[in-house]
Amino acid sequence: MSLLHVFAGAAALGAILPLSSGPINNNQQAVLNATPTIPEPPKPETIDVIELPLPPVSASRDVGACTAALNPHRTGCIARELTDKFQAGDFTPDGQNVIVTVTFVGAPAVPSPASIYDGVQLILIRTDGTNFSNGDPWKCLTCGVPTKNAKELDPQRDYPHVFRSGDKAIWGHNILDCNGKQLASDACTPDDIHIYPIYWSDGAPRELRIHPDDVHIGWSSFTNGAGQFSYFGRLEFNAHTSGTGPAVPRYDLVDVDLLVDPKGRAFITANGSELKLQPESINIGELRGFSGSGDEILYLGAPTESTNIDLYAVHIETGIVRRLTSHPDYADPIAFSADDQWFVTQDTRASERQMWMSGMRGIPPLIDIVAVAVAASTRNNGKRRFFQPILIDRHGDRGSYYGQQVNGNGEKSDGGIDDPSWNGRADPAFSLDSTCIVYWQAIVTSPACGGINPLPCPASTAQDRREYRVMLARLSDRQPSLPAPVYKVSTRIPWATPFPPGTDVPSLPTLKPGNYTLRGKVSGFAEVSLIGDAVHPEPSSIKRVVANYTDFSDDGDHTINGSEDVELTVLFPNVWNQRLDWYSDIVQTGSSTGSKKTGTRGLQLRIDVMKNILEANGTLTTTINGVAYHQPANST
């Protein structure tokens, strides 16, 4: 099992899409040769947060339950419960609308004109307090699209995203095209819209992200062995299909690169009996998007510090890696501003969800060789997230700067903008002028609360007790800024691996069982035993890591002494179901003092990384500067 790829939780014949609106950067070499300077962290700014309108709720899903009393305009009602089919996306280019996937319920039967407001649909909602010409602050894009215009509609309809051109949107494994008309305009009617499936011959793409050039796209895909790889390719319209795949006009993923450097190194390498950390290595666990100009790929990477899951950026041409987040808590969904100066991430740092495990800085990621999947999965409790949106400048966390909580100026009252019972979901987004952020939240619901769970279930204060809401944050101190010039992508990514159809994913180099030494860059060393698993399908796989630290320091600020011993058991046949037997006894001195200790019986922790429900016996407590962080209770 690879340390680097277990982060599941944890687009006329032959034509390509036109380039996006906005300039293409044709003077890129000067940018590549520039020496980056890291400024002082920014000061907090004024952020005003409001809730955006959605269609009215119908408590019943029965036919005809969405009556004129609920919606006098007869433009549909949506479900009260959060389903997997609700998701807010990003803005139209003018910033006046946000694209959202909703589930309409209670529509009247055919032939009522309102019968089209049924099932999973894609809508736009206003951000400026105005209405569309139908009198509502929302407009359904896909309701009433003729069947002939949406052949082979793929059921995967997540992560909606408006192209910068404004006339197209990606909708899961589909592309919605309004024939050159702006999606938000009255000219874009259901008869103008065509919905085309996206096809890739080599697997099932997931969480697709459009590059700012509106032509290229990135995605991730699971392997059969509890792993995942990420890819980059180009959308090509295929009007006359043949062979495999949907036999309808579609968008094919072509000129695909596997985002693995064939000449690169893993984050942890061995030279004889010496281990080395390689922070400059490209190790993409899961692709999360692109920088505002598109010159960098954003991703979850192999941890730099033990059990600290962070976001990174790698330059598309040079392969230079930047660590964007370093706070010990978990960061994941991310969006860059179009001017390339800021990013917003959904992060658990406001809830301190992960501090019991990852709160001690400066420990190298040795136990992560076996623990990374579990460490990436305890951030959730089933469907509940513990995210809040964090605004950070483009240079990322540094020193004592950990960004600004976008919704942090409330009073934590019930239903307030910072009510901890309302948790952020993927993905946040910036308006094209970089003055607004949109994000969506879901309230905690059973079984993550109530019943045998010690956390009582809160009452939703959203309209008709809806379990989800869309929030708009205005960065009130800012003036609109122009998007950065869009990076012109080469035909191939120089450091990646070409991945033509039919190619098998490579076997990555792995560490071998044995005894090693990792020397601190400043002081000390760690004696490390990597113990194999004779019954694992891969004989060289590592089952257990034992690390003993003596005055170990990589940064001169944190010195580590003590030991950790973690053993992984994969509960076959479900490769995602994993158990850790964990023993820690670590003391930290230096700029921070603390300890990381398990109880006398250690910690036995089990989690299915596809379900994210923690089951633990024993304890692990991390104490930093006198503050103790305890693990969550089971199922909370």
Q: Is the pLDDT of residue 23 over 90?
A: no
Annotate 34-65 with DSSP letters as a single string.
Answer: SPP--PPPPPP--EEEEEPP-PPEES--STT-
Burial annotation 400-434 (CB, 10 A radius, 16+ → b, else e): eebbbbbbbeeeeeebebbbebbbbbbbbbbbbbb
Tell me the average pLDDT across 304-317: 98
Of the two residues 623 and 8, the one the predictor is more confident about is 623
CA distance 427 to 161: 10
Q: For residue 5, what pLDDT is reported?
A: 39
DSSP annotation of 20: P
Residue 271 pLDDT more than 90?
A: yes
Please tell me whether residue 374 adopts helix, strand or coil conformation: helix
Tokens of 126: 């206003």
- Is the pLDDT score of 14 beyond 50? no
CB 221 within 8 A of CB 7: no
Residue with the bigger pLDDT between 489 and 452: it is: 489
Q: Indicate the burial class of 525 (C-beta count within 10 angstroms; 0-12, 13-18, 19 or more).
A: middle
Mean pLDDT of 574-593: 96
Within 10 angstroms of residue 268's Cβ, the number of other Cβ atoms is 25
C-beta separation of 38 from 395 below 8 A: yes
Which of the four pLDDT bands, split at 50, 70 and 90, describes residue 16? very low
| Confidence grade of residue 35 (pLDDT, cut at 50, 70, 90) | low
Question: Is pLDDT at 242 greater than 50 in this prediction?
Answer: yes
Query: Which pLDDT score is estimated for 136?
Result: 98
Indicate if the pLDDT at residue 130 is higher than 90.
Answer: yes
Lowest mean pLDDT among 66-70, 223-227, 284-288, 459-463: 223-227
pLDDT value at 75 more than 90: yes
**Pairing status of strand 627-630 against strand 615-624:** antiparallel
Dihedral sign, Cα of residue 15, residue 20, residue 22, residue 26: negative
Q: Which residues touch 463 (CB under 8 Å, ≥6 apart)?
A: 54, 56, 57
Contact 391, 404 (CB under 8 A): yes
Please report which confidence band the pLDDT of residue 536 belongs to, taking 50, 70 and 90 as the band edges: low
User: Residue 566 belongs to what H/E stretch?
Assistant: strand 558-570
**What's the pLDDT score for residue 9?**
32
Closest CA to 365 of 395, 398, 326: 326
Distance of CA 153 to the CA centre of its chain: 24
Predicted confidence band at 4 (pLDDT cuts at 50, 70, 90)? very low
CA-CA-CA-CA torsion for 81, 85, 86, 92, nearest 10 degrees?
Answer: -160
Q: What is residue 25's predicted lDDT score, i.e. its pLDDT?
A: 52
Write down the pLDDT at residue 541.
85
Report d(CA 182, CA 194) in Å as an integer. 13
pLDDT at 60 over 50: yes
- Provide the mean pLDDT of the chain: 93
Lowest mean pLDDT segment, chosen from 17-31, 76-90, 209-223, 456-470 = 17-31
> Can you give the pLDDT at residue 7?
36
Work out the burial of residue 115: count CB atoms within 10 Å of its CB; fewer than 13 is exposed, 13-18 middle, 19 or more buried: middle
Cα–Cα distance, 312 to 299 (Å, whole number): 5
138 has which bridge partners?
125
Chain segment 487-515, per-residue pLDDT in tens: 999 999 999 999 999 999 988 888 999 99
- The pLDDT score that the predictor gives to residue 85 is 85
Within 13 A of 505's CA, how many CA atoms are on the CB side? 20
Vertex 459, ends 456 and 465: CA angle to 5°? Answer: 150
Domain boundaries, given as residue ranges, for the chain? 55-199, 514-630
Instruction: Give just the sign of the alpha carbon dihedral 114, 115, 119, 123.
Output: negative
* pTM of the predicted protein model: 0.94
Whether 334 contacts 403, CB under 8 Å: no
C-alpha span between 367 and 262 (Å, rounded) = 25
Residue 15 has pLDDT above 50, yes or no: no
Question: Which pLDDT value is given to residue 507?
Answer: 86
CA dist., res. 584 & res. 563, Å (int) = 6
Segment 316-365, tens digit of pLDDT: 999 999 999 999 999 999 999 999 999 999 999 999 999 999 999 999 99
Query: What proportion of the chain, given as a percentage, has pLDDT over 90?
Result: 88
Rounded CA-CA distance 517/204 in Å is 40
| pLDDT of res. 83 | 78
